[in-house]
Amino acid sequence: MKFEHTKVFNFEGSFRGLRNPLESWNKLDSQYCHQIKDCSTCTAEGYCENHCYPQTDYIIGKNDLNLAQRMLKAGNDNSKFMREIMVSVDITAPLYWWKEYDTYKVGTVANSTSTMHKISTTPITKECFEFDSSNDYNEFFNTIQNKAINDCEKLRQFYLETNDKQYWRLLIQILPEAWLQKRTCTLNYAVLRNMYFARRNHKLTEWSVNFINWVNELPYAKELIEYE
């Protein structure tokens, strides 16, 4: 499972809007890093504290962070500024993970690679799947995994040789849930906060390890997404 090309944007607009209800824009103390992340020459009094995030050069000020966390405590209606912090990422994950991800339809958009169009164009190998590489039953597991891979590849070859869609249909129908699919996803910090608390202790390590580790690396994840 992989998370690639992560981009986070609109911190500025989100925190400016956070000040709208009380028209307290004069108290905004967040700013962009004008030192090109050269902390040795920085004179900003923001919340940077010498930890810079590769996905953004926006520094959330202490006053703004305090207000943001008060709104998070007040609930979803008051913390709607989180919906305006946008995230774009390419996720490559098995189909069994994507089925659970699809629970989150509000505030998410995704464009995926097409299994229907592309499954017959390249050889089907072990690298196409999310199979566990180590366990206490290696020989047994490997036998089952290899059979599934070989059966899929045989069907692919039969389809290419005959152009008979019966083989293609059967390949689609028996394709293991471990098949890896890439999607370019757009989310926001509000939905990520919901996903984080719902999935951080999930028995699938794709959630409790891979996804959570990725969230941990997002700018101000601990202060906003994971804030309790």
DSSP category for residue 108: -
Which residue's entry shows tokens 């305090």? 66
Give Cα 177 distance to the centre of its chain. 19
More confident residue, 35 or 207: 207
The backbone region for 178, taken as left when phi is positive above 0, alpha when psi lies in -120 to 50, beta otherwise, is alpha
226 confidence band (pLDDT: 50, 70, 90): very high
34 confidence band (pLDDT: 50, 70, 90): low
User: Cβ-count burial of 52 within 10 angstroms (0-12 exposed, 13-18 middle, 19+ buried)?
Assistant: middle
Reference 191, options 99, 85, 92; nearest CA is 85
More confident residue, 74 or 44: 74
Reference 211, options 191, 228, 224; nearest CA is 191
Q: What is the mean pLDDT of residues 122-140?
A: 83
Q: CA-to-CA distance for 181 and 172, rounded, in angstroms? A: 14
Least confident of 10-24, 41-55, 122-136, 155-169: 41-55
More confident residue, 207 or 132: 207
* pTM of the shown model: 0.88
What contacts 53, CB < 8 A, 6 or more positions away? 8, 218, 219, 220
Mean pLDDT of the chain: 89
